[in-house]
C-alpha cells in the first residue's frame, strides 16, 4: 500500500476528510470533556497533526499530538487529560511556553488495523516532533490489550512475554519502535456523565450503585445511583521516545 502523509497545517482543507474516517473507539471514549477541548481548538495545533491517504485519496490513518509545558522531568499522573490541559494553557495570553510534546491519538481505519500501519504512523509522529525541534515524544498509551478491568494497570503495564517484549500489543508497538515504558498515569482520562448519558453511550442499565463493567473500558465505571452520575477514571501508560532532534 502506497501511502501519503500530510501535515494538517500544510493543507487545512483535509480536516473534513480526516474527521470522516471511520473510528473504532467505544462511544463513551468520545465524551472526555478535556479531550474535546483539544479537538475543538485543533487549528492551534495543526503542525502537530498528521493525515495519511492511500492511492485513491481515502484517509486511512491520522495522528494527533500536542505541545505542552512540563515542569521538571516527571510525567504527570493526569496523563492524557493533563497534557491537553497544559497544551491549551500554552495558547493563552501569558501562558507558559511549550517545552515538551505528547502524542494524543493514533488511529488507523478499522478495516486496515492489524497490518502494521500503526507502527508507521507512530514513527512519523515521532519524526514530526523532531522536525518541530523536540528531543523527545512522550505518549500516554492506552493499552487496549488489557482484558481484565480489575487488573491493576501497574501490573499490566510491565507484564512481558518470554521474548521480553510487553504482553500488551500496543505497548509492544511502542517498545519495538524504541520507546521506553516510564510508568503509569493513574488518572489519565476522566469521563463523567449522568446516568442517562452513560446508558445512551453503553446501552447498559446503570441502575445500581457500585462498579460497572463496560465493554471497551480498561477499568470499571463507578455508578452513583443516589446522585444520578457515573465516572470513568482510566489509567494509561507513559512511554518516552527519543526523536534524535
Predicted pLDDT of residue 131: 98
Q: Is 43 helix (H, G, I), strand (E, B) or coil?
A: helix
Predicted pLDDT of residue 2: 83
Return d(Cα 224, Cα 110) in angstroms, integer. Answer: 34
Distances (CA, A) of 106 to 62, 173, 203: 6, 12, 26
Residue 1 has pLDDT above 80, yes or no: no
Predicted pLDDT of residue 21: 96
**Interval 26-48: pLDDT, tens:** 999 999 999 999 999 999 999 99
Closest CA to 125 of 32, 52, 203, 180: 52
Domain ranges for the chain, please list them.
4-185+237-242
Return d(Cα 49, Cα 42) in angstroms, integer. Answer: 8
Q: Which residues pair with 232 in a beta bridge?
A: 191
Return d(Cα 70, Cα 238) in angstroms, integer. Answer: 14
Q: Domain 4-185+237-242 in CATH: superfamily? A: Gcn5-related N-acetyltransferase (GNAT) (3.40.630.30)
- Structural contact between residues 96 and 157, judged by C-beta atoms closer than 8 angstroms: no
Question: And the C-alpha cell for 172?
Answer: 509492544
Amino acid at each position: 500500500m502506497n501511502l501519503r502523509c500530510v501535515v494538517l497545517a500544510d493543507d487545512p482543507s483535509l480536516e473534513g476528510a480526516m474527521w470522516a474516517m471511520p473510528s473504532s473507539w467505544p462511544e463513551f471514549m468520545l465524551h472526555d470533556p478535556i479531550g474535546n477541548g483539544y479537538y475543538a481548538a485543533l487549528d492551534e495545533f495543526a503542525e502537530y497533526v498528521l493525515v495519511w491517504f492511500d492511492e485513491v485519496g481515502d484517509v486511512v490513518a491520522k495522528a494527533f499530538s500536542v505541545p505542552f509545558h512540563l515542569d521538571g522531568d516527571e510525567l504527570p499522573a493526569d496523563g492524557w487529560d493533563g497534557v491537553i490541559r497544559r497544551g491549551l494553557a500554552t495558547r493563552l495570553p501569558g501562558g507558559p511556553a511549550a517545552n515538551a510534546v505528547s502524542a494524543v491519538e493514533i488511529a488507523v481505519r478499522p478495516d486496515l488495523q492489524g497490518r502494521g500501519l500503526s507502527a508507521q504512523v507512530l514513527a512519523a509522529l515521532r519524526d514530526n516532533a523532531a522536525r518541530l525541534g523536540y528531543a523527545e515524544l512522550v505518549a500516554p498509551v492506552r493499552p487496549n490489550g488489557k482484558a481484565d478491568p480489575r487488573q491493576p494497570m501497574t501490573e499490566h503495564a510491565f507484564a512481558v512475554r518470554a521474548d521480553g517484549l510487553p504482553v500488551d500489543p500496543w505497548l509492544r508497538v511502542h517498545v519495538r519502535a524504541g520507546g521506553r515504558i516510564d510508568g503509569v498515569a493513574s488518572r489519565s482520562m476522566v469521563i463523567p456523565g449522568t446516568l442517562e448519558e452513560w446508558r445512551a453511550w453503553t446501552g447498559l442499565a446503570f441502575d445500581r450503585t457500585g462498579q460497572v463493567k463496560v465493554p471497551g473500558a480498561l477499568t470499571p465505571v463507578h455508578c452513583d445511583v443516589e446522585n444520578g452520575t457515573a465516572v470513568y477514571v482510566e489509567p494509561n501508560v507513559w512511554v518516552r521516545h527519543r526523536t534524535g532532534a
